[in-house]
Amino acid sequence: MPAPADLARRADQLRQKLQEASYAYYVLDNPVMEDAVYDRLYRELEQLETAYPELVSPDSPTQRVGDRPAERFQTVQHAIALYSLENAFDLAELRAWEDRWQKVAGTGERSPVLEELPLFQAANPARYVCELKIDGSAIALTYEEGLLVRGATRGDGIAGEEITQNIKTIRSIPLRLNTANPPARLEIRGEAFLPLSSFEQINRDRAAAGEALFANPRNAAAGTLRQLDSRIVAERKLDFFAYTLQWPEELDWPDRPRSHWESLEQLAAWGFRVNPNRDRCADLAAVWDYCQRWDQARHDLPYMTDGAVIKLDDLALQTAVGFTNKFPRWAIAYKYPAEEAPSRLLSVTFQVGRTGAITPVAELEPVQLAGTTVARATLHNRDRLLELDLHLGDTVVIRKAGEIIPEVLRVLPELRPDGATRVQMPSHCPACGEAVVQPADEAVTRCINTSCPAIVRGSLRHWASRDALDIDGLGEKLVEQLSEAGLVKSVADLYGLTIAPLLTLERMGQKSAEKLVSAIARSTGQPWARVLYGLGIRHIGSSNAKLLAAQFRSVEALAAATEEELTVVNGIGLEIAKSIREWFGSAANRSLVDRLRSAGLSLVASDPDPDQAIAQPTNATISGKTFVLTGTLPTLTRPETKALIERSGGKVTGSVSKKTDYVVVGEEAGSKLDKARSLGLVCISEAELLELLATA
C-alpha cells in the first residue's frame, strides 16, 4: 500500500530540513539545530521510510554515513574510517543491540565464536566497557615512531580536515608518546572538548567584544578546532580525552592489547588523558546501572557529557562481529534524555497569574524530554509570540531548562501545515472577560481587574505556600472551591472564615474544617519576613523578603522607605525598589495591610527573630559576604553550613560569579570549583570557613 500523500510531504520536509542542518554544521561551521532535535527528526524520517520503502530517496540523510567536510583546510583521507555510533535511548534498545551482535557472533550466550575468544574463557568475563560520551569534537591523531605527525577532524568519517597545528596547541595531547619502544604507526581517536570554565570565559570575552555567543561547549570546540589562526586555539584552552587505539591490521607489536580496557590503559601509559569515569561491566545489567548512575552525577562534572558509549571489551570479538554499512556492531551510544526535543503545537491556552500577568502556554503532542513526558511549554509573553511567529500545527523545538513547564525555543517554519492560523494574545482576560492592558514598558500583557478570580486564586496559593504563611491543608483544589463559592476574595478574608460555611464545600467534613481554621489561625504567628513574602509584591522572593525585613523591621518602616533607602540593602536594585513603592502606593494594598494587622498578623520583626538569622550580623569578617558551597564537607551538612554563614551576616547563593567572595570546597567538588578558579576567587575548606566564623 503506497504512502499517504501527507506522509510523503512530511518525509520531503524532513529530508530538506535535515540536509540544511547538516550543511550548516559541517560546511558552514554554523550549527542551526541541536543534536537532540536532529536525532529525533532523523528517527521520524527513518520510521517513515521503514514503513513506506518507496519514500526512500538516494539523497536521504539515512542513506549515507556522514556529510562532506568544509574546504577551508586541506582534506585528508583517514587510514582507518571513523564510523558513527548507533544510538540507543532506553534499556530495550540496548537489549536489542545486544541481541544483534550476539546473532552475528553465533547463537546463544556461549556461541562457538565466543568460546574461542580468550577473554570469554575466564570464569567471570568482562564483556563490556562503559565510558562517558564527551560532548566535544571527534579527532584522529596519527603517530609515526611515537611522534605526532597529523591531526584531523572526523569529517564524514572517510575524509577530514588536516588541523595538526591546532591539535598541537592542546596540551593534554602528547607530541611524542611516552615510550622508548613505540609502534611504527598507529592512530589515536578521541574527543577534543572545552571544559565548562573555559567555555564560560570564551563567551564572556565574545560578549565583551560584541560577538555572537557560542550555543554550547560542543559548538565552541568544533569552531575552535577550525580556526585558521592557531594562536586563537591556544588561548581557548581545549582539552582532550583519548578513547580508541587503532592498530593497522598488518602491525605486529609484542605488547598489543587484547581488550579495549587494556587499550585505554596503554593510552594512559603513553601520556594521554583517558576519562577516569569508566567501568568494565560483566553484563547488560551492570551497563544499565552505569548509565543510570551517571545520568545524575554528570551534572557535577567540569565538562559536558550527553550519554555513555558501550563497547565490547574483547578486541577479537569486535573484529568478529564487524560493522554494518554505517555503524560498528560492537559499540553503541546510550543517549541521556534530551534537554531539547521537537513536537507539534496542538493549541495555545492563556493562564492568568496572581499579578494579572497573562502567560500563553503551548499545548503539545506529548514528547519525552529530560526523562519526563512533556505536553505543555511556556511561551512567556506577547513579544515572544511575535518573535516566534507561531502558528497552530507548527513543529516546535522545546527546551527543558530547569523549569516546571519547559519553554518553546524556536519554530521550524519549513514544516508548517498549509493554511495554519497565527497565534495571538487575547484582547480580554480569559478568566474574567475584562479588557487586558499592555504596559508600554513591559512585555507582559495584564488583567488589572483586582477582583479577577484567577488573580485571587493565585494570591491565595502564594499566601499559603511553604515559604510564605505555610498554611497546611490550603491546597490548590480548596483554593478553587473557596474562590468559586465566593467565601474568600482576598488573603485577608481567610482570617474571617468559620467552620459553618466551610461545611458547605464538597468533601469538607467537620474535622477537615476545624483543621483548616486552626492552620489559618496558627499562621498569624509567622514572622514579618514571611508575611512580606506572602504579600506577593512583584520581584520580592523569599530571600529578598528576609533582607528587607532585617533592614525595615516593620511594615510602616518599609512603606515609608524611599527608593534610595531601599537600594542600599544588598541585593535590592532599582526595579525592586520601584515595585515596592508602587505596591504601597495603592490604596487597596494599604487597606489589605490594615486588615491583616487587625487579624493579628505579625507586621513587625520580633527581637531576636529566629527566622531572620541574617538580621543582626555578628561577624565583621562574614557580614555582607557572598558564599557558594560545592562538594561534600567533612562534618557539616549544607543546611548547617548555610545557617552558620547566615547567622554571621553572610549570604549563600547557588552559583559562582565575579560577585562571589568565598567558595567553600568539599570532596568531589564539581564545575563550580573550576569556574571559581577561572575567576580567581578565594576557595576555602570547611576548616578555614570555621576559622572565619570564629573571628571576632
Annotated binding site for Zn(2+): 429, 432, 452
Quick check: bond before 608 cis, omega within 30?
Answer: yes
Beta strands across the sheet bearing 128-134: 87-88, 331-335, 305-312, 128-134, 279-281
Residue 529: DSSP 8-state: H
Angstrom distance (rounded) from CA 330 to CA 66: 19
| Positions of E strands within 370-454 | 372-378, 395-399, 407-411, 445-446
Cα 235-239-240 angle, rounded to 5 deg: 145
Angstrom distance (rounded) from CA 63 to CA 15: 11
Q: Report whether 334 contacts 128 (CB < 8 A).
A: no
Angstrom distance (rounded) from CA 306 to CA 134: 7
Write the secondary structure of 230-242 as one string of H (helix), E (strand) and C (coil).
HHHHHHHCCEEEE
With CA atoms as reference, report the closest residue to 18 among 417, 412, 420: 412
Catalytic entry in 133, 237, 546, 625: 133
How distant is the alpha carbon of residue 622 from its chain centre?
A: 32
Which string of DSSP letters, residue by residue, matches 50-103? HH-GGG--TT-GGGSS--PPPSSS-EEE-SS------EE-SHHHHHHHHHHHHH
**600 CB neighbour count, 10 Å cutoff:** 12
Q: Which amino acid is at 375?
A: A
**448 CB neighbour count, 10 Å cutoff:** 13
**In the annotation, is 546 catalytic?**
no
State whether residue 245 is helix, strand or coil.
strand
Query: What residues are annotated to the active site?
Result: 133
